[in-house]
Chain A
Amino acid sequence: MGQPISSSPATAGRIALSLRDVVKTYVMGADEVHALRGVSLDVATNEYVAIMGASGSGKSTLMNVIGCLDVPTSGTYSLEGQPVAGMSEYQLAEIRNQRIGFVFQTFNLIPRSNVFHNVELPLIYAGVPRAQRRPRVEDAIARVGLTNRMRHKPNELSGGQRQRVAIARALVGQPSIILADEPTGNLDSKTGDEIMAVLDELHQAGQTILLVTHETYIARHALRIVRLRDGMIESDDAVPAGSLAGQ
């Protein structure tokens, strides 16, 4: 298993998350699907990690465990030094709310709510008073360049714009990590590049980012590439700045 490498100059090595021998097994009747078979991974703050691997290799499963949407079958996972095992549904919801920002392949916006309200939601669930929400929501929307679309519904936006809304929603709560599972998967390459530019900017500003992708040119934006194969880490390499990753 490769050494965890911190390539970003900004990371002085504070641990953002740490997985040890994480196993995730899905039981489907008599069958068992081993989605993760012992993954150990450390990510420091402000790292920019791309997770790659064939379809079915366990990338999404890993992201879900890291995002506290799912709990591992065995192994330990701690977020900023705090073990997640044994937490209640309520505590997990708080962690997802305050320390994790999700960006999904399929955007997952609330269809009936406009851009502003979609971005505002995590703050509402965090209990931030209305007066404090507004400037933070407007700031997050400005960072993804959608200030002039604030009152639009998701179905009035292009795919790229929707993904920007999702990113604004992910970052508005100032999470420890942003988890993006194939954020460009539903977008053409030009729009995908625009989305990656937004993520790059967030990383420049100090954000820790984990990104799942199938595309080498997308993974190239990250500074570290972790490859999964059959639920195990196959390789874990730093990407030298300015070079093309992989083959």
Chain B
Amino acid sequence: MAESVKAADDSRAPVSQRPKTMAPPSDIRDIGALVTVNIDGQDVKVPMGTTILEAAKKAGIRIPTLCYHEDLCIAGVCRICVVEVDGQRTLQAACAYPVTSPLKVKTHTRKVRQARRHVVDLLLSTHYGECYSCFRNNNCELQALAKECGVDFFRFGHPEQPRYEVDRSSYSVVRDMNKCVLCRRCVRTCIDLQEVGVLEAIGRSANTKVATFLDKPLGEVVCINCGQCINRCPTGALRANDPTDEVWAAIDDPKKHVVIQTAPSPRAAIGECFGQPPGKALTFELNTALKQCGFDRVFDTNFTADLTILEEGTELIIRLKKALVDKDPLVALPQFTSCSPGWVKYIEHFYTELLPHVSSAKSPQQMFGAIIKTYYAKLNKLDPQDIVTVALMPCSAKKFECNRQEMCSSGYKDIDYGLTTRELAQMIKEAGIDLPNMPKSNFDDPFGTATGSGVIFGATGGVMEAALRTVVELVCGIKVEDLFAHADIIPVRGFEGVRYAEIPITKVGPVPDILKPLVKDWNWLKGATLKVGICHGTANAKKVLEDIRAGGKFSECHFIEFMACPGGCLGGGGQPIPTGPAIRAARAKAIYDEDKGYAIRKSHENPDVLKIYKDFLTDGPCGHLSHKLLHTHYTARGKYIV
């Protein structure tokens, strides 16, 4: 699966540092030409412009790397990947050297080994930190390189004092620059992959450091909390703000009723923290493990994902009706999804004038919290004050989201603690539980039924697919399966950064009960074409938003799905490290496979969801109570933090 999370042409990176392969040769005869590289005596044929590193990979020869990352443009700064190229006075960085003519390369001569050893020695000479108290212990590229290069003492010393204060100002990301090796993967992530541009190298020589604008604390700049920088940091310099201790304390407190919801993406990835290959979902094993950890109830975020579809879908129908029937010129279309908190903060900072387009529906995480502290509390005769809501999320931005002031419409914080996949894996390990080999068990009632639609929220295009499954059925009165085999809406799937699809509404059906308070009939939609857009990664979001500003194709859409993270939630900033296109593709497969396994595949068919509208949210989707509990509002932040 080819993933184009970023387009090469409008990146801010200098061209020389961008492509992994060189631009197409100017001479037409060179296009597609193969060049032979001889690496350690082995011939490999590669297309012109392939880097030595990629050629070596093809030949099965390992060259260590540090600043290189599959998702990012080339930097060539750490120099750990240097190799000897025949005829060159200096060693060359394999990650940055494009092969354009036959080359002879040696990857482990004395010179190379000495250089690599020195590079690690030098990095360690400024690296303040002890592996045994570091969250990246055993999953750290610096540590692994030291081992690989045979470093067995601090040749050039080791710092005894920290140079920098740890920055804990952000709800989501903790920065400990004492462990930074200046590979600048975070900088390239933030500037080039995400195009947010919070981090940049400042100072020079030994005073170089990665910093924010004016070196302000991260909590005071326009960081969107996506955590993509964490996922790509090779060391423990960046990590998520970890509430594990608080969660344990709540579990240990007998007065507290501790409830955890698990999202589909972490379930598809947590196995990676236990040595499993990517792409093996451990959903039901996890239920058992969580109970053993001491959580009182385990719920499936899918329940509120389905609820989100009904709320957000209804909101869309209201907007469409206002536009098409009432001819209201002020209605904001297309409607934007709101379930990715990184994306929400992005638009709050950078495209404030488009904020009215964002659906007012809370994210599934927050909806769940609100339902638990109201409906669930009442049902179980619990004082909401004694309930602690924990959310297992693939996401670091969720930590910021649950601390938003407006997220407590029930009178209590919707969600008390957001845990990332990595943090929960650590808790499970601490409890001595062998997750992959746990017996399976089900989610708890009363939200025990989930649908496939909720599951696919985790992949880019999933929210759109779920919404379409529901909207098409509710409006057209037909089965989605009649339009798309197995209800798999393939046009909205995939990893293309920006996608667009059209669904013609050829016939309309009767208005279902749940929507009767809002519309009398669907005739006004007959013959219309539903136009939808999907994008993932804020760099792609930016493209779509710019297109809308310019009145382009996407301004004519009705509904657009935005996800802050490349690949959608499955590539979230709280997911296991490392990440890369292949890993994300494997997680996506796990998610779509799980979808196939569900008896119910559509949100509006979820009996537990229908029940809650019958028993609790009695004035229906987008009704009064749901507006109070399940919807929110946004802040035009601009360059300010507020």
Whether both chains belong to one complex is answered with no
The interface of chain B, by Cβ under 8 A from chain A, is none
